[in-house]
Amino acid sequence: MKFLVYFLIAALGFSNLPSGALDMDIQYPIEKQIVELQDTINMIASENTNEEEKILDAEKVFIEIDTDSPYWEKVIIYGKHEIDINVKNGKQGLVMEFPKNFIVNGERSFKDEVNGTTILDLEVTNIDNHQYLFLQHKADMPVRIYKDSLEPNIIHIAIAKTLNPYPFKVILDPGHGGFDSGASHFGVHEKDIVLDIALRMEHKLKDLGIDAIYSRRTDKFVELHDRANMSNKINPDAFISIHINAAPIESPRGIATFLYTPNGFQKKEREELARAIQDSLIEEFPDWKDWGILREGFYVIKYTKNPSVLVEFGFLSNPEDRAMLVKVDVRERAAKAIAKGIDIFLKNNNDG
């Protein structure tokens, strides 16, 4: 397949590459004809390339293969700077366009590194003034391509190991939105902080086999009953509402996780979910006050039928917490900690 793809890129340009070129079976007969053009393709690929650029600099390989996850094979590209993701997808594989020599100097095959995985072939080659990553995978496997949420110069390519890489699903509910800013202090709005944390959680959860569904992905207002109804309709394994606290005075600060168990309803599950998330957050932020597990009949956890909790991560009304909440790395760590807590709860409650 890759020889045809390279030939079409050289002949038509990447933007005109037909998606069908990445849909064919690896035994597709035209491949035999295209193989005969390999010398010509290699000549095109190396045009205007100096001899020294053809020699791979072992220190300039900005790619990593990660097969440790039970759900995904990962190809991680460590870019020297952030670039737009430019990709063509098909049923059998994908090809990505980069600046010339962005990943390696010249060309390199990673076929040995991906041997025995759902990735059947992985190669980097230069054609004209660009570098292309060609990846062939088993047919119809789910694929995710995304920038790292903390270092956007890093690009992740995740190829599922099975057709269903999500044994679990959760709903993430960033509080407020739109005209409802939630808590607001000195130009910092709760709605923006919680949305940022929630969006950072998506691929952290998906890497763990947990599909993430959102009550909102943008700055829009969603009624409380619509959030609860959405959860009840989808029937997730857990519902997590994310908020930032506030108080009439500046002194209160810290982290709390709320639950609601009317007449003991889902008491064990909701307590375990709350405890897993709260403990994970306090482990990550040991200097923050630990308010522990609290009980309150907030609408979205009162009217959801699945294990549900509401996280209050810090106080916007407190100068110290607020100074932390506006930091990208703090929100990244919060996203990682909440995702870790969710994962602990789901794995501990689904042994059988």
71-125 residue pLDDT tens: 999 999 999 899 999 999 999 999 999 999 999 888 999 999 999 999 999 999 9
How many Å apart are CA 299 and CA 173, to the nearest integer?
Answer: 12
Residue ending a domain, among 99, 125, 160, is 160
* pLDDT for res 30: 44
Same domain for 154 and 176? no
Residues 72 and 98 in one domain: yes
pLDDT the model gives residue 352: 46
How many angstroms separate the most distant Cα atoms in the chain? 76
Considering the domain architecture, whether residues 191 and 97 belong to the same structural domain is answered as no
Pair (35, 143) in one structural domain? yes
Q: How far is CA 34 from CA 29, 30, 41, 88, 248, in A?
A: 9, 6, 9, 20, 72
Q: Which of 160, 181, 215 is the last residue of a domain?
A: 160
Same domain, 79 and 211: no
Query: For residues 173 and 212, what is the distance between their CA atoms, to the nearest angstrom?
Result: 10
Euclidean distance between CA atoms 32 and 35, whole angstroms: 5
d(CA 241, CA 224): 11
How many whole angstroms separate alpha carbon 242 and alpha carbon 176? 10
DSSP state, residue 217: S
CATH number at residue 18: 2.60.40.3470
pLDDT < 50 positions in the chain = 27-37, 40-41, 44-59, 352
Do 153 and 174 lie in one domain? The reply is: no
H helix runs in 112-207, sequence order = 190-207
Q: Do 9 and 109 have their domain in common?
A: yes
Answer for the pair 14, 132: CB distance below 8 angstroms, yes or no.
yes
Q: What is the 3-state secondary structure (H, E, C) of 304-339?
A: CCCCEEEEEEEECCCHHHHHHHCCHHHHHHHHHHHH
- What's the DSSP call for residue 104? B
Whether residue 65 sits in one domain with residue 26: yes
C-alpha separations of 154 from 83, 136, 148, 240, 335 in Å? 9, 21, 5, 28, 18
pLDDT on residue 3 = 61
pLDDT of residue 28: 46
Q: Are residues 150 and 189 in the same domain?
A: no
pLDDT tens across 235-277, in order?
A: 999 999 999 999 999 999 999 999 999 999 999 999 999 999 9
Task: State the total domains in the chain.
Answer: 2
Q: Mark which of 134, 160, 186 sits at the end of a domain.
A: 160
Q: Can you give the pLDDT at residue 58?
A: 40
Do 145 and 191 belong together in one domain? no
Give all strands (DSSP E) within the chain, no chain letters: 63-66, 72-78, 87-89, 93-99, 108-109, 119-127, 130-137, 143-147, 154-160, 168-174, 184-185, 188-189, 210-214, 238-245, 255-259, 290-295, 308-315
Domain that holds residue 87: 2-160
Tell me, yes or no, whether 177 and 209 share the same domain.
yes
DSSP SS3 for 15: helix
Identify the CATH number of the domain in which residue 289 sits.
3.40.630.40
pLDDT at site 52: 41
- Looking at the structure, do residues 131 and 190 belong to the same domain, yes or no? no
Query: What pLDDT does residue 144 have?
Result: 98
**pLDDT of 10:** 61
